Structures are given as C-alpha cells and as structure tokens.
Structure 1
C-alpha cells in the first residue's frame, strides 16, 4: 500500500459530496455569477505539476483524490457550484474520463476521486478542472501530470554500520554511522528508519484554511527519513540511539519509492554497554529534609570518547512532585549538586549525562527510604493489646523519627482531627479518656517546621 494514502473527513462547510461519472454537466445554482477557473490544484495532497516531463508520482490503488478551489465573480455570497474534472493518459488524449463534484462551495477545495480503473499502474496521466455554474463553464485549468505507482520496492534495503557491527557489543558514546542501500532496486529514491518498529507515515498532509492541503515532505525530517544519492542508490546517516538506552538496540529501515510506497523492513541490531554516570552523596544516608551534596561522575569509557558537559538529575518522590535539574559539568566531566530529599516515604534520583557530541547516557539510579511516621506509646492503652476501661484516663506519647517536627495531628476512630504542638525534644503527650469499652484506632501524623505533613501512623488498641 502507499504510505501517502489517507482518509480525510470533508469539512462540513464544503457541503455534501456528490460525485458521478458523467459526460455532461448538471451545474448547481450561482445566480449572476461568472465561473472562474479553479486554483490551488492538488493530487494526492501534493501540488499539481504542470511539467509533463516531471509528473508527481502518486499511489492510486483506491483512486486518486484531486482537488481545486472553484470560484465565481460573485464574491458576496457563499454560492455552490459544480466542478468538473477530466483525466486522460498522456499517450492517448482522446481517452478521457470525466468526474463531477456537485454542490461544491465557492472558495473552498472541492475534492473528487478519479477512479482507480481509469488509472492503471505504471502510466502517466494528465488531468484538468473547470468551474460550472448556471449553465456556464470557466476555462479549463492547465493540465496537471501524475505518474501512477502502486507497486512498492521489491527488495528490502541493505543496512550496514562502520562503527557498530551487527550483533556485536559496543561501548557507545559515538553516533552510529549507518549506510543504507537500495539492494539492487532502481525504484528506490529514499529510506525511512526508526528505533521503534512502527515506522512513521511518509507523505501526509495537514489541512489549512479553505481546505488547502499542506503536504509534509518526509525528507525534511532527518530523524526518520533520508534521500538516496541516486535512484537505486544509497545514503549514509549518523544517528544516536534513543536517550537513556543500553542493551539491545535495533534500527528498523525500509526503502521508499517516488510515490512513498514502502518496501519490506530490514532490522539491524547491536548491543550497547551502559554509559550511565555515578551519583554519590557526601554521607551514606542523607537526613530527611536536610541539604546533601551529591558528586556526579561520568562513565570512564564515555568520557574518553566525548567529554561529558552536563547532567540531568530527575528527583522522584519529593514534595511538590517530580522535578528535573540540569547540572553543568567541569572540565573533567564531574559535577556536584546540593539536593534536599524530602519525600515522606523516601526519594530516588535518575541521573543521566550529556556529552559534547550530543550523546545522552542511560540513567544511574540512587534512592533512599525514610520512615517519617511518629512513634506512639501508652502505658494504659498499649498497642495491639487491651487495657484501662471506660472512664479510665490514659496518656499517649508522640515522638518523632526525623528532625524539626513542630506538631502532631491525631484522630480517634475517625473523629475530627486535633493538633497539638511539639514540646521538648519535639515530643507531645495527649491525655485521653474513653467513654466506653471496645476496639479503637488512633491515627497520628507529624508536621515539620517547614510545613511538610509526614506519613501517618495507625495505632490500634482495646479498651476493657
């Protein structure tokens, strides 16, 4: 199939699409208006070529969508007109097929489908268009020339690399130099490639004002496309593996012809060593919510290939959501960064390096867990046990596991929360007297001086 073919909803403002094979015209109403020859001519979303020696190559397995903007001299109303298209093989101009688009809106693209059975594969055709209104017709447009190519390249492309041998392990750090070749298929004019097995669509269009197609040249995007140096020729490309990758790398490649038909896909695989940096804190176990300096060091093999110039540090699990910090490296590729870890259950870092040549390493991981729940103790009502009784007062002592606790908030059996300030040694004591016996659940969490609400602790006990 063609990768330029696409389905497209006709804008409601274009009116009802009416197509008919016919030899005569049945125009719509356009009172007091003289038809004007259509402009903005497109075929398969590509611009019309008026050069018979340089036709536009198109896939037409389901017919060919042609379009132009009809008009009349009446610019004061949104009149509807008919648009008549004719197509013929350049080798036999007398063998014409006519297609009429009825109820087209003046000033907007009026699409019609030239039938596939009128466009056999491998031949070149001319087509033209005119506006018809009130029994009058405009002049025909100049012919547009298209070459029908419904046949994809026969051979899958050849792929080789001069610095990353197929199936071998490589230390990484340098872009991968690939040579792509047509593998003996003279119909090939370019190549498409991706590190993902699903390749992008080649040869599509965005739709602009008045329905005018804006064809997207795939070869304008060197991330995925490159032209061959000649029909049936080859191309050399330089690619970085996906950011943050190591292990098995696979590039998927197919050949494209002038109509953007794609060949079968060739895959090329190699193994890539990790080029991740290291991240080392100044102390083995950084304290919660206290600044700690981390030293970032490049992978030695990577540094010897292309100097590391910076790092991306992603902090995951902290207050305010995940965030990423860019850190500039020194001349030797190392860097230091001061970080405050304040995730109430712990926090992790993902650190990748960036080299001068553009290489982005896979990530080094570093993480720590924190227990920020308070401790809860009671002599009268011990945890997971029974004690006291209805009307018997008891005291609960709250103590922190991290520094700088300012208060505790608690609730018994889902009652409204109450908050008590922390006292000496950041502890607090709550006196409580049950009205009845039974099972109770006490929920307690602390809040720090900087306003961080810490993890809750759930304390269960039974009143005799």
Structure 2
C-alpha cells in the first residue's frame, strides 16, 4: 500500500480546498465486514493484528484529479473521551481508504465506536455516523458436541435415509453457529474485494453446504445430511464459530453405513464386442422401500469413449439402458441408484472381458517352433475373433516397416515373408474394424533355423 500511495502521489497533484468540498466517507467497513450503526448489535471482530477500518472518501468536484485524506476516530463506548485517531493520507476519492487501529488500543470484550471524515488540506467533511464493533480475540474454548439418533458411531447402519445430526455448543455461550464438512478440510471464511477496493462480505451461513446458524447464541443446531458416498466409513467434521468467526477445535463424528447396490442385468449373457446391448437396472428393494429410486448414474470404464451419464427410473424404480461395449480388452459398467430423498447407493459393477487379438497361422513357421531357414518364404494367415474386421497391420522385429493389408471377404488376410537370416523372430499384428477401432495386438513368436 505504501508503494501504491507513492505512485498516486507522483501522478496526482495535491488537493486544495478550491478544488472541491470534502464529502463524508461512505462504504464503511471494519475487518472487511459491514459496519454496524446499531449500538445494541455491534459487529464482532478479532483484532490480534489490529482492526482495519475503512471508508470511501469523496469531494464535490469529481472532475478534478486530487488526493485527499481520511481521519478515523475510535473510542470505548463506556468512555467517549478516550479517543484513538488514525489517518490515511494521499487517498484517492472514490476508493476505499483503509487504516489500521493498533491492537494495543483495543481490549478483548470491549465495545468501541468509530467514525470517519474526509479531509482536504484544512477543510473537513462532516463525520460519518458511528460504527460499533466489539473486540473478540478468543476462540470458543470447547469443540462442539455431535450426535446422531439414526446413525450411531458403533457398528454398521443400513443406509437409505438422511443422517440426522444434533450439534451443540458444549457450554460455550458465544457460539453463533457451526461449520461442517465431509471432506476434513473446512472452508476458509474470507471476503472478496470488489471495484474501488470495496469489500464484498457474504454471510457464511447463507452457504448451507458448510454452515448452519445455532438456534440461539450458545445454542445448538439440527442437520439432515446425505453422505457423500453410499457405503463405508463416514466422518463429519464440525467446529463451532463465534460471532467474530473464530473457530473452535474440530469434532469428528465417524459412523459406518452399509448401502445395498442396484443390480445390472444384460439382455444376453455374453454381449458381443462392438454390438449394442440392452441392460436392465433394478433397485435394491430396501432402498426402494425407504425412498423411491428416481434415477441411476452409469459409468463405463475400459471402452473407447468412457463416459458417465444419468438415466431416469420408471415408477417401479427400474431403468433400461443400451450400451455398445468396445473395450479391446474388456469393459466394466458401474451403476449407482439415486433415491428421491437424495440418497446415492453403493456402486454395482458388471464387467466382461474380450480377446480381440487376431489368430495367426503359418505352416512354414509354426508358433513357438523352430523351422524353415534363411530365404525360405512362409505364409502367415490372419483371422479375426470379432466381427467386421477390415484390415490387419503387422511388423516383424527384423527392422522391416509396419504394413497394413486389407482383409478378404471372409475377414481374413495372408502375407508372405522370407527371413533374411536365422534366429528368433516376433511378428506383431493387430486388426482394425470398419468403425476404426484398432484392436488388441498379438505377438507370434518363432525361430528360423
């Protein structure tokens, strides 16, 4: 900020009273939170590193470039004669002009009033209305209590219903609310800074994914939550927050959930590679009874274009989906069900394997055998194990190029090859389908003697 002040001082001429009349600062904030003009409802702020107060100064003649000053006064509401003054010189009209009141001037638990005025040389605006702030430098002394009547911490509980939590302040009378998460790392409460340096504070309790206000100061709160996954060991981390947003120590509530998975049934026992196949998804009856299944999340793994998509369920909780399985080594399908109450089940898994390598046959050079000889030509015949093969690509480990040959009408192909010398050889070959799928390669080993 010092560097910025020097830059502005070099760019803008000093103000004079003739340039305009100073205007009372607006946009007042303390600790990057809105100031409170209600003495009965002050803002609560920590001040371990001092208290930042700020406002936007102005002058009546905004067309004239100038720098102005801002003066801040703070005093304990119990003793208005004990005034602490801080100033911000060389401030730009229309922009926030922060200043810091040293922590040595502030006492924990004490309520203070502060105000601001704009100065231009010897002229000064009216004072702003007083803002009230109570200093709170002490975080809640105890971690909150966390209980659940329907998911106790011991043993396993069948899922399907939201987890009901009761969170208590544990005897701390200035707890305003609670922060919670399933992911261990609790969110940080911060304030964005907008145009002209104006803070953009947001009530954290408006984000109900992570915050809940207590039913009274020092009170408790009831939570109804869906765990992030359908089964396993779950941990909810919770801490208390006072009015200054100081966090207590964290309480971890751990419990165990068993959640039946749906079933996945293909229309045929062994779906063919690359062929569209229908699947029926059926809910677990226990989950369906607790809350109707409204949809499924389907994930394919191992195919050419793995994807995750949702499928709506019928009234009876079932759903139909058509999949084309094209994983050259096999493919896996994983499915979770979603209940009307938001519950997501454990994942069901169905999978199949495919051998998409071609077969290779050679009379002159049988696989894993030793035969032939230098310059003896052998014929190698390639045949598919899946449908719609249109070509084969092969290479020998003798340094020759990779060669692609078209398949015949019966989807086979034959190539002739003569070795340059005796020794061990590896023929690598793979097939390609009409749709462009490059299938799994096969290594055919033999020895030329």
Same fold (TM over 0.5): yes
In the TM superposition, what is the alpha-carbon distance from 1:389 to its structure 2 partner? 4.0
Contact 1:28 1:81 in 2 (8 A): no
3-state SS of 1:392 partner: coil
Question: Structure 1 pair 458/57, CA: closer, same or farther in 2 (3 Å)?
Answer: same
Q: Give 2:361's aligned residue.
A: 377
Matched, 1:57 2:44: yes
Change (3 A) 1:171 1:16: farther
Query: Which residue does the alignment assign to 2:433?
Result: 448
1:216-365 to 2 correspondences below 5 Å = 216-242=202-228, 244-320=229-305, 322-365=306-349
2: CA distance, partners of 1:354 / 1:43: 46
CA deviation string 1:120-167 (max 9, x = no partner): 110011122223334433332222111111112222222222222232
- Deviation, structure 1 residue 395: 1.6
- Pick closer, same or farther for the CA change 1:105–1:330 going to 2, 3 Å: same
2:29 and 2:442 mapped to 1: Cα distance? 69
Report deviation, 1:462: 4.6
User: In the alignment, is residue 431 of structure 1 matched against residue 430 of structure 2?
Assistant: no
- SS of the residue corresponding to residue 36 of structure 2 reads coil
- Contact 1:279–1:296, Cα closer than 8 Å, also in 2: yes
Aligned to 1:146: 133
CA root-mean-square deviation: 2.5
Mapped partners of 1:207, 1:457: distance in 2? 61
Distance 1:117 1:461 in 2: 87
Q: Residue 108 of structure 2 contacts residue 136 of structure 2 at CA under 8 Å; is this kept in 1?
A: yes
> Is 1:70 paired with 2:69?
no
8 Å CA contact 2:69, 2:87 repeated in 1:
yes
Q: Which of 382, 399, 413 lines up with 2:383 in the alignment?
A: 399
Q: After superposition, what is the alpha-carbon deviation per residue over 1:422-460, rounded to whole angstroms, capped at 9, x for unaligned? A: 114311101123445555443322111222111222334
Deviation at 1:40, TM superposition (A): 0.9
Gaps of 5+ in 2: none
Moved more, 56-65 or 127-136: 127-136
After superposing the two structures, state which structure 1 stretch, 382-391 or 327-336, moved more. Answer: 382-391
Partners of 1:246 and 1:271 within 8 A in 2: yes
TM-score (norm 2): 0.91
Aligned length: 443
Aligned to 1:3: none
| Gap runs ≥5 in structure 1 | 1-9, 19-26
- Is the CA contact 1:59–1:150 (under 8 Å) kept in the aligned structure 2? yes
How far the C-alpha of 1:341 sits from its partner, in A, is 0.6
Q: Separation in 1 of the partners of 2:175 and 2:365?
A: 83
On the 8 A contact 2:70/2:117 being kept in 1, the answer is yes
Structure 1 position 30 matched with structure 2 position 30: no
1:125 and 2:118 are equivalent in the alignment = no
CA-CA distance at 1:93 after TM superposition: 2.0
Query: Contact 1:28/1:103 (CA < 8 Å) preserved in 2?
Result: no
- SS of 2:104 mapped into structure 1: helix
Cα distance in 2, alignment partners of residues 34 and 283 from structure 1: 86
- Residue 375 of structure 2 contacts residue 421 of structure 2 at CA under 8 Å; is this kept in 1? yes
Question: Residue 39 of structure 1 corresponds to which residue in structure 2?
Answer: 26
Q: Distance in 1 between matches of 2:71 and 2:371?
A: 95
Instruction: Indicate if the aligned counterparts of 1:33 and 1:73 stay in contact, CA closer than 8 A.
Output: yes
- 8 A contact 1:17–1:104 mirrored in 2: no
The offset of 1:85, in angstroms, is 2.2
Q: Which of 145, 158, 166 lines up with 2:153 in the alignment?
A: 166
Structure 1 stretch 95-104 or stretch 323-332: which is displaced more?
95-104
